Amino acid sequence: MKLAVIGAGYIGLITASCFAEMGNEVICVDFDEKKIDNLDHYRLSVYEPGLEDLIRRNCKGNRLFFSTNLSKAVEDSLICYLTLSPIYREGELSDITYYLAVAQDISRHLNGYKVIVNKSNVPVGTAARLQKTIAQELAVRGVEYEFDVVVDPEFVKQGTAIEDFMKPDRIVIGCDNERVAELMKELYAPFVRTNRPIIIMDLVSAELIKYSANAFLATKISFMNELANICAITGADINLIRLGLGSDSRIGNLFLFPGLGYGGLRFSQGVRELIQTAKTIGYTPRLLEATEAINQNQRRLFIDMISAYFHDDLRGRVFGVWGLSFKPWTDDIREAPALTVINALMEKGARFKAYDPQAQKAAQEFFGVSNTAISYAADMYEAVDDAAALIINTDWTMFRTPDFNRLKSRLRTAVIFDGRNLYNCQKLTQLGFEYFYIGKKQRTA
């Protein structure tokens, strides 16, 4: 099939390259000429394992193209994917003004039956507004081309997005007639040869399911963090509790690790967007509000743990930092717990030497190139040279099995504050470390 993907951001590039990999002819459009030029030379502004190779292979195979020419992309394609990011505002539903403006522009170039597919994280009800916008523009043009609007929520995880897209657990399609449902089934047939389900539903349900999935997983994370905080007071072992819970087939063992909480736009904004959606219809979503409150509190508790150890005397102390991205296998620092932790301790006078295998450039832009309170190391051990303690924010695999003797020799004092519960407390104590983790029993006076 011939597809247009409008928006060459993270989701747009994943969508375009994966559809091209399955033999479709895909043109990916963005209005940023510099971005398109970079993509034509395989220079990506986002990091995702395998994405550059996938783009390179499909461009050379003449299945994937990049352009700023929206009109030609729409005219030449049967299906147009919208992968634009709305503008998020705290305490409000996302602003989709730009999204609808692009949809209106697409409508000006319809030259026959088209399918307009939303794959952006936009508020519930956007599909109806999209239908209205397109219909109004066609009326202005005085033409009666048929079109369908489809909601195709994405469920990919940063770090494994290509595999998630190519081998999905399920495909969810929101639409309102059998004709377009069959067309979307045909498009996705190569992705579900192992009998993964294609679930057809109405537009509103499909819009809500993406937020629902993210909010449910976020709630599991906050639940485990709440348990960890109870363990810190009672002396129970959160790691053993996790194993006990995870062995129950009704619960499963995913998203049961206590830590600094969730980050990234999908969970953080997704939960808040669902809260705001509920409030706009007059419902108070108490569980979701608690999920978000616990998540924010988890960062404060970790900050307090570090401050308390040093009796709130942090001025001039240098901390080694492992991890800046909100999760491993991405360079994305948006809503990352590391930023909250570093900013709070920085305000108390602390300084940092940080290492992250992918996110250091983004962090430098966030904190400022001229910010002397934080520097960046070439490797994980350089980050802890003469440091007062090590702070772990992200569970990159390289941090899971360090050379503890080497680590201890580089630190000024053998103290670790682990926001991801990576290590065995008994082992580290035997090695001479003071080891603090999420759920560790609190000191008593």
* pLDDT band per the 50, 70, 90 thresholds, residue 92: confident
- Is the full-model pTM beyond 0.95? no
Q: How far is CA 114 from CA 110, 145, 146, in A?
A: 7, 8, 7
Whether the Cβ atoms of residue 118 and residue 142 lie closer than 8 Å to each other: no
pLDDT (tens digit, 9 = 90+) per residue, 318-364?
999 999 999 999 999 999 999 999 999 999 999 999 999 999 999 99
Residue 444 scores a pLDDT above 90:
no
Whether the Cβ atoms of residue 227 and residue 259 lie closer than 8 Å to each other: no
Question: 29 pairs with which residues across the strands?
Answer: 6, 67
pLDDT (tens digit, 9 = 90+) per residue, 263-311?
998 899 889 999 999 999 999 999 999 999 999 999 999 999 999 999 9
State phi, psi for 348 to the nearest 5 degrees.
-90, 5
Question: 64 pairs with which residues across the strands?
Answer: 26
Give all strands (DSSP E) within 335-399, no chain letters: 351-355, 374-376, 389-392
SS3 79: strand
Query: Cα angle vertex 302, ends 296, 306, to 5°?
Result: 145
Residue 140 scores a pLDDT above 60:
yes
d(CA 270, CA 90): 12
State phi, psi for 178 to the nearest 5 degrees.
-70, -30
Query: Cα angle vertex 171, ends 161, 192, to 5°?
Result: 85
Strand order in the sheet with 114-118: 64-67, 25-29, 2-6, 79-82, 114-118, 147-151, 171-174, 198-201
DSSP 145: -
Q: Which helix (H) or strand (E) holds 204?
A: helix 203-234
| 143 CB neighbour count, 10 Å cutoff | 12
Residue 85's pLDDT is what? Answer: 85
Residue 134 scores a pLDDT above 50:
yes
Cα 442 to chain centroid distance, Å, stands at 32
* pLDDT band per the 50, 70, 90 thresholds, residue 98: very high
Residue 132's pLDDT is what? Answer: 96
Residue 365 scores a pLDDT above 80:
yes
- Residues annotated within a binding site: 30, 35, 210, 255-259, 263, 327, 334
DSSP 284: -
Alpha helix stretches (DSSP H) within 310-403 = 337-347, 360-367
d(CA 133, CA 125): 13
Sort 382 into a burial class: Cβ within 10 Å, 0-12 / 13-18 / 19+: middle
Burial 172-198 (b: 16+ CB within 10 A, else e): bbbbeeeebbebbeebbeebeeeeeeb
Asked which of 1-15, 88-102, 274-288 is least confident by mean pLDDT, the reply is 88-102
| 165 CB neighbour count, 10 Å cutoff | 20
* Owner of token pair 């063992």: 253
Q: List all residues 6 or more positions away from 329 whose beta carbon is below 8 Å from its beta carbon.
A: 49, 158, 159, 160, 358, 396
* pLDDT band per the 50, 70, 90 thresholds, residue 89: confident
pLDDT (tens digit, 9 = 90+) per residue, 371-405?
999 999 999 999 999 999 999 999 999 999 999 99
Q: 229: which 2 tokens?
A: 């905080």
- Domains identified in the chain and CATH numbers: 2-201 (3.40.50.720), 216-437 (3.40.50.720)
- Residues annotated within a binding site for substrate: 210, 255-259, 263, 327
d(CA 81, CA 440): 47
Whether the Cβ atoms of residue 207 and residue 125 lie closer than 8 Å to each other: yes
Whether the Cβ atoms of residue 79 and residue 114 lie closer than 8 Å to each other: yes
Residue 149's pLDDT is what? Answer: 98
SS3 99: helix
- Strands 198-201, 2-6: pairing kind: unpaired
Q: 237: which 2 tokens?
A: 């072992």
Residue 91 scores a pLDDT above 70:
no
Residue 445's pLDDT is what? Answer: 46
Q: Which helix (H) or strand (E) holds 181?
A: helix 178-188
| 169 CB neighbour count, 10 Å cutoff | 8
- Residues annotated within a binding site for NAD(+): 30, 35, 334
